[in-house]
Amino acid sequence: MDVTDIARWQFGIITVYHFLFVPITIGTSAIVAAFQTAWVRTGREEYLRLTKFFGKLFLINFAIGVVTGIVQEFQFGMNWSDYSRFVGDIFGAPLAIEGLLAFFLESTFLGLWIFGWGKLPRNVHAATIWMVHIGTLFSSYFILAANSWMQHPVGYKYDAATGRAELTDFWAVMFNKVQLVTFPHVVLAAYMTGGAFVMGVAAYLHLKERRQVATESDAPLYLKAVRIGAAVTLFAGLGVAISGDLQGKVMTEVQPMKMAAAEALYDTEKPASFSVFTWGTPDGKQEKFAIKVPRLLSFLATGSTSGKVQGINQLRDQYKSKYGEDPGAKYYSPGDYTPIIPVTYWSFRFMIGLGVFAAAGAALILLVTRNGGRPKGTWWPRLAIALPIATVLANSWGWLFTEMGRQPWAVFGLMTTQQAVSPGVSVFEAWVSIIALTLLYAVLAVVEFGLMWRYIKLGAPAYEEPPDHADTDDDRPLAFAY
Amino acid sequence: MELTTVWFALIAVLWIGYFTLEGFDFGVGMLLPVIARNDTERRVLYNTVGPVWDGNEVWVLVAGGATFAAFPEWYATLFSGFYLPLLLILLALIIRNLAFEYRAKKDDDTWRRNWDLSLTVGSFVPALLWGVAFANIVAGVPIDTHKEFTGTLFTLLNPYGLLGGVVTLLLFATHGAMFIALKTDGEIRHRARALSVQLGLGAAVAAVVFLVWTQAKTGSASSAVAFVLAAAALVSGIFAAWKGREGWAFVGTFVTIALSVAGLFLALFPNVMPSTTSDAFSLTTTNASATGYTLTVMTWVAAVFTPFVLLYQGWTYWVFRKRIATHHIPTTKPALETAGAR
């Protein structure tokens, strides 16, 4: 493997890993904030217990998201220095703004929230967790604006003298049409993930409580959380579907090859059908068996059931005449300007399939639990436990699809991935980096899941009146301490 | 003033923010095994920086992002060139940050010991390596005509670079001791204050040698002023600590670090990364910068939003201004009884 291979694997590993935690952070912070607000408003004990319980899980998760995020900030310069030189004038700005607007907000207010129990007035304290959540949204916006620019460069000119892309219109980058559909898609998927996380954890505890014969059972408390989580999952899921549909049409327009690769559509079709499942030769070039939905691809790609969808072979010729011979053709893919088709084909289906499964599952659970009380059966809590895993995997497949589907480009139409890598980094350095990070991340995963499991099993803590912030006794113990 | 100069200054400010704030976090982490004698005392130390360390660390992320946006060539050359030291810093920051978050989450001695070790090592490594990195940036490294770093890890481990590392290490340790003396009460406070004087004298010797060496290498009149004032602040800080004036002592090391970093940037200007291969290959504020348009946009963003950041970060320090002593540490086992308490 050369430096490009290693750098790509590293980017894939650490970015997918980072994004296992990020959507849970975004989604759960909103739900915890809502629980705490409900407690401040109603004073009902159950909301404080849910706030503290899910708040703890949120923090265990958030910690890993933060530390793996630090690596993200620096690895562009480390492994992708030619990329950084080429795009820094445009790409650096959203990154810097993300730090200034989002990271400061998140980390400062998180400190206030963690240690602020009994120190801040209750409504101010609840506001701090909302600030954390707003920080996560800012963060999403700017990093996705940067990514959208890679998918569809706008608001720039190429300067031959400096050999780089230069910013000409900041607002065009901020309101890139790819960004306007990607941001809602990703954030709603994060809400979906957060909702499913709350639902799954609560369903496990509900099942556990039901099995106990104790008089004071928390089963109703967890059932409430199940329903709240399920509702978030379902409604966010509908939004994910709508925004994803819009995204597909924009993608067909700006990156037609990605849509063709998503469907493994080799030759242009009008109308085009969507294959739910295809079993083909290992190189993905010939199909042996397929289940197809007529006209669906036309609709997904163009919004019309009779629209024309271009095939890989035609697009390859178009790209060649537009961009010249693919400089990375031999390196990346079976054909010029073609991503790895089985990867794009299956990742697209896994993303959609898992997302639909999660939303449908959430709908079913809402239905079963609609009358409250003690809904029978153990199948639905078991289903609820599976759904957060489905949403997390759907997120990963979505990113694998959109990033792999853009290949061989790093910046679509402007720079290939091979041209983006750091020329001065040695294979040895790149190996040290990927091995060290992967090993450390593996250890962290074990530690994180261990802690998460430990705290889930403990369940929601007993109600305890938080100390009054007006109590200025300097000698009382801290309400929270590390 | 040219926008490139403004951004050079702003990046200096971000690094000053980072080193003055996270500097004492590093100090607290490094001194954990030295100052604390039992578990409650260790928890006191963790909690002195508990609510603020994460916000302090963001300064380096913004410094990195701002360098990327304002001086893309500097960002690319620096981070791809100083690859292995930077990787070590990243690994160290990861284990250090998790030590804060995870240590109290399990009532188990081995678990706590491992995280204490992570905190100490994870504070020690960046405290040393940031100094090595900055000394090398100021002194210059081999850079070719394509703005690529052509040295190896061992290029960076020269006497001047290593001395730079020792200086930041000792300064941050002193700064941390001053901070502990200011933020705690009881025995720890006195122990920290006594230690801060001893560490401070060591730091002063190393820092003076390093700053004189820097001044002789690349200094300008303005950097000389900054260095002299930095040295004066350090001596005053140590004197204040000796006299028991902990607030002034902390201000002393704070100002020392701020002025030393400012002096290094002044010694660097107008280069951002000088080349030892040929002066013609040096990265400067002009040949490494982004376009005027990008700098203008970024200037607006910085001007509008930085005041808010300073305001709410300042507020956090106000909310958590009180000293912490062993009797403030809740006696219940953190992992079980207070599950969900955070």
Residue A480's pLDDT is 81
Window 261-290 of B, Cβ < 8 Å to A: 290
For residue A464, what is the DSSP state? Answer: -
Q: Which residues of B touch A115 (CB under 8 A)?
A: 50-51, 320
- For residues B261 and B223, the answer to whether their CB atoms sit within 8 Å is no
Q: Residue B76 has what DSSP assignment? A: H
DSSP A423: T
- Encoding tokens for residue A202? 């609560």
Specify the amino acid at residue B208: V
A412-428 pLDDT, tens digit per residue, is 999 989 889 999 999 99
Residues whose CB falls within 8 Å of the CB of residue A373, separated by 6 or more in sequence, listed in order? none
Per-domain boundaries in chain B: 3-140+152-269+293-328
CB contact under 8 A, A104 and B43: no
Query: How many whole angstroms separate alpha carbon B184 and alpha carbon B190?
Result: 9
Q: What integer pLDDT is reported at residue A213 of this predicted model?
A: 67
Residue pair B151/B16 in contact by the 8 Å Cβ criterion: no
pLDDT score of A286: 67
Q: Are A193 and A388 in contact (CB under 8 A)?
A: yes
Indicate the angle between helix axes B187-218 and B3-35, nearest 10 degrees. 140
The answer to whether B76 and A85 are in contact (CB under 8 A) is: yes
- The pLDDT, as a whole number, for residue A270 is 82
Interface A–B counts its CB contacts (< 8 A) at: 272
Query: CB distance from B241 to chain A under 8 Å?
Result: no
Question: Any chain A CB within 8 A of the CB of B185?
Answer: no
Classify B3-140+152-269+293-328 by CATH class.
mainly alpha
Alpha helices in A255-378 (DSSP H): 256-263, 296-302, 312-323, 329-332, 341-368
In angstroms, what separates the C-alpha of B24 from chain A's closest C-alpha? 17
Contacts of B312 (CB under 8 A, 6+ apart): A104, A105, A108, A109
B151 interface with A at CB cutoff 8 Å: no
Distance in angstroms (rounded) separating the CA atoms of residues A272 and A299: 8
Choose the weakest-confidence range: A97-106, A301-310, B235-244. A301-310
Domain spans of chain A, in order of start: 3-160+169-242+406-458
Q: Looking at the DSSP assignment, which residues form a beta bridge with residue A157?
A: A166
Task: State the best of B305, B316, B328, B342 to mutate against chain A, taking most chain A CBs within 10 Å.
Answer: B342
The alpha carbon dihedral of A229, A231, A233, A236 has a sign of negative
- Banded pLDDT at A301 (limits 50, 70, 90): confident
Strand, coil or helix: A368? helix
pLDDT digits (tens, 9 = 90+) for B105-162: 999 999 999 999 999 999 999 999 999 999 999 999 999 999 999 998 999 999 999 9
pLDDT in tens, A50-63: 999 999 999 999 99
Quick: pLDDT tens for A388-414.
999 999 999 999 999 999 988 999 999
Residue B192: name the closest of B19, B331, B317, B37 by CA: B37
Residue whose tokens read 């401070």: B200
A177, pLDDT greater than 80:
yes
Instruction: Inform me whether the pLDDT recorded for B91 exceeds 90.
Output: yes
- Closest chain A residue to B323, measured at CA: A474
- The answer on pLDDT for A120 being more than 70 is yes
Confidence band of B342 (pLDDT split at 50, 70, 90):
very low
Low-confidence winner among A109-118, A352-361, B232-241, B322-331 (lowest mean pLDDT): B322-331
Within an 8 Å CB–CB cutoff, is residue B84 touching chain A? yes
> What average pLDDT is seen over chain A?
90
Pairwise CB contact (< 8 Å): B291 & A167: yes
pLDDT in tens, B33-77: 999 999 999 999 999 999 999 999 999 999 999 999 999 999 999
Do B106 and B144 form a contact (C-beta atoms < 8 A)? Answer: no
- Please report the pLDDT score of residue A332 as a whole number: 54
Closest CA of chain A from B124, distance in Å = 17
pLDDT at B335: 44
- Candidates B13, B121, B4; CA nearest to B70 is B4
Tokens of A165: 């892309």
Q: pLDDT at residue A330 above 70? A: no
B-chain CB neighbours of A149 within 8 Å are none
Which pLDDT value is given to residue B337? 42
User: Under 8 Å CB-to-CB from B308, ≥6 apart: which residues?
Assistant: none
Q: What is the pLDDT of residue B339?
A: 41
What is the token pair recorded at B34? Answer: 């030295």
Tokens at residue B286, please? 């002009």
Provide the pLDDT confidence category of residue A210 given band limits of 50, 70 and 90: confident
Q: Is-contact B19 B257, C-beta < 8 A?
A: yes
Using the predicted structure, report yes or no on whether residue A91 has a pLDDT greater than 70.
yes
Across the range B269-279, mean pLDDT stands at 93
Model confidence over A339-395: pLDDT tens digits? 888 899 999 999 999 999 999 999 999 999 888 767 778 899 999 999 999 999 999
Complex ipTM = 0.91
Tokens of B282: 């040096």
Chain B residue with minimum CA distance to A32: B342
Q: What is the pLDDT of residues A124-152, one digit of tens each?
A: 999 999 999 999 999 999 999 999 999 99
Low-confidence winner among A477-481, B9-13, B144-148, B185-189 (lowest mean pLDDT)? A477-481
Q: What are A104's two structure tokens?
A: 């400061």
Question: Are A350 and A392 within 8 A, CB to CB?
Answer: no
> What is the average pLDDT across B178-183?
96
Helix (H/G/I), strand (E/B), else coil: A410: strand
Q: What is the mean pLDDT of residues A319-338?
A: 72
Residue A285 has pLDDT above 50, yes or no: yes
The answer to whether A422 faces chain B, any CB pair under 8 Å, is yes
SS3 assignment, position A265:
coil
Which candidate from A92, A166, A460 shows the least CB-CB separation from B65?
A92
Summarize the confidence of residues B314-337 as an average pLDDT: 80
Going by C-beta distance under 8 Å and a sequence separation of 6 or more, which residues neighbour residue A248? A259, A300, A301
CB–CB of B69 and A95 under 8 A? yes
A-chain CB neighbours of B80 within 8 Å are: 77-79, 81, 422, 424-425
Judged by average pLDDT, the poorest of A165-179, A281-295, B231-245 is: A281-295
| Torsion angle, alpha carbons of A336, A341, A343, A345, to 10 | 140
CA distance B178 to B199: 10
- Say if the Cβ atoms of A91 and B322 lie within 8 Å: no
pLDDT at res. A405: 93
Q: Closest Cα partner for B92 from B159, B150, B22, B143?
A: B22
- Based on its alpha-carbon atoms, the radius of gyration of chain A, rounded to whole angstroms, reads 24
Note the pLDDT of residue B341.
38
pLDDT of B340 higher than 60 = no
- B125-146: b or e for each residue (b if 16 or more CB lie within 10 Å)? bbbbbbbbbbbbbbbbbbbeee
Q: How far is CA A413 from the centre of its chain?
A: 25
Does residue B204 contact residue B235 with C-beta atoms inside 8 Å?
A: yes
- Closest CB to A96 among B62, B91, B293: B62
* B312: closest CA of chain A, how far (Å): 8
Residue A409: its H or E element = strand A409-411
A358 or A286: which leads in pLDDT: A358
**Per-residue model confidence (pLDDT) at position A303:** 83
CA pair distance B158, B173, nearest whole angstrom: 23
Test the A interface: residue of B13, B90, B108 with most A CBs within 10 Å: B90
Closest residue of chain A to B319, computed from CA coordinates: A119
- Report the percent of chain A where pLDDT is more than 90: 68
CA distance B77 to B144: 10
Q: What pLDDT, on a 0 to 100 scale, did the predictor assign at position B332? A: 64
Q: Give the pair of three-digit tokens for residue A227.
A: 């329903």
* Mean pLDDT within A149-166: 93
Which residues from chain B sit within 8 angstroms of residue A119, using beta carbons? 319-320
Mean pLDDT value across residues B216-245 = 93
Q: What 3-state DSSP class applies to B184?
A: strand
